[in-house]
């Protein structure tokens, strides 16, 4: 195997630290070739049974973007109702999506019924197809970040409604709604930690059997 240098490994750790969820984007456009290069990392991702179950929808029309933003706003207002007192006040002050500013919106789906791979590895754990898609998204995230781009993963959404609005086949399930663009600020500290919502656990929970 090709050896990787210590300097590469050190930069890789740094990249993983930088790879936080980004919600504050400038409106500066993303070069088309760079966006395609980011998406191309999907083709490097392992997938269960080599099923490559990822399906990608670029959301570019003003109508589709507006529906997705409205979907988020409704879901976020509903989520706020689940908190009381101080937590509710804090929640309402959080910026939880950069959908308005981010120049690029990418919705990523999993085709749960793909025949590619002939079901290998997905009989006992069919969720492995979705996990393969998540893995591919994470490669794209790192590639984007290595090029200075930020990515934000929006999960405060009514997924069935989004699937309907984007008119995707019934076998596709939403894995991620991604905002991509140039970050306005950079920090290795998660924004939820800075805002006082939650802090990271100092240790990793490891048990033995």
Q: Which of residues 60-119 bind a second copy (CB under 8 A)?
A: 60-61, 64, 75, 78-79, 82-83, 87, 91, 94, 96, 116-119
Q: Is 11 in the site for a second copy (CB under 8 A)?
A: yes
Residue 21 touches a second copy, criterion: CB under 8 A? yes
Among 69, 101, 112, 197, binds a second copy (CB under 8 A): 197
Residues shown for the chain:
209
Judged by CB under 8 A, does residue 24 bind a second copy? no
Minimum CB separation from a second copy for residue 123, in Å?
5
Alpha carbons within 13 angstroms on the beta-carbon side of residue 198 total 6
Please, what is the end-to-end C-alpha distance for the chain in angstroms?
Answer: 32
For the chain, state the CA radius of gyration.
18
158: Cα within 13 Å, side-chain hemisphere: 15
Q: CB of residue 102 vs a second copy: minimum separation in angstroms?
A: 16
Q: Among residues 26, 86, 134, 180, which is the contact residue for a second copy, using CB under 8 A?
A: 134
* 122, 20 contact by CB (below 8 A): no
* Residues of this chain, 135-154, that bind a second copy according to CB under 8 A: 135, 137-139, 142-143, 146-148, 153
Q: Nearest approach, Cβ of 80 to a second copy (angstroms)?
A: 10
Should residue 34 be labelled a site residue for a second copy when binding is judged by CB under 8 A?
no
Q: Residues 162 to 191: which contact a second copy by CB under 8 A?
A: 166-167, 174-176, 183, 186, 190
Q: How far is the CB of 87 from a second copy (least distance, A)?
A: 6
Distance set, CA 120 to CA 52, 111, 136 (Å): 12, 15, 18
Kindly state the smallest distance separating residue 101's Cβ from a second copy, in Å: 17
Q: DSSP per residue over 31-75, as a string? A: PHHHHHHHHHGGGGS--GGG---EEEEEE-SHHHHHHHHHHHHHH
Kindly state the smallest distance separating residue 203's Cβ from a second copy, in Å.
Answer: 8
Binder among 26, 73, 101, 131 for a second copy (CB under 8 A): 131
Identify the CA nearest to 162 among candidates 29, 90, 66, 89: 66
């Amino acid at each position: 195997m090709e050896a990787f240098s210590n300097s590469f490994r050190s930069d890789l750790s740094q990249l993983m630290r930088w790879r936080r969820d980004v919600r504050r984007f400038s409106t500066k456009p993303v070069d088309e070739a760079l966006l395609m290069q980011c998406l191309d990392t999907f083709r490097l991702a392992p997938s269960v049974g080599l099923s490559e179950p990822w399906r990608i929808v670029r959301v570019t029309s003003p109508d589709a973007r507006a529906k997705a933003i409205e979907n988020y706003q409704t879901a976020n207002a509903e989520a706020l109702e689940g908190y009381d007192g101080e937590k509710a006040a804090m929640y309402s002050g959080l910026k939880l999506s950069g959908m308005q500013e981010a120049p690029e919106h990418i919705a990523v789906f999993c085709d749960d019924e793909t025949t590619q791979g002939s079901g290998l590895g997905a009989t006992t754990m069919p969720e492995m197809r979705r996990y393969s898609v998540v893995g591919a998204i994470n490669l794209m995230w790192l590639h984007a970040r290595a090029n200075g781009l930020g990515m934000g993963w929006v999960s405060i959404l009514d997924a069935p409604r989004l699937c309907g609005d984007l008119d995707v086949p019934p076998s596709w399930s939403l894995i991620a709604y991604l905002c991509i663009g140039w970050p306005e600020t950079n920090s290795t500290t998660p924004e939820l930690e800075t805002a006082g919502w939650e802090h990271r656990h100092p240790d990793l929970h490891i048990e033995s059997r």
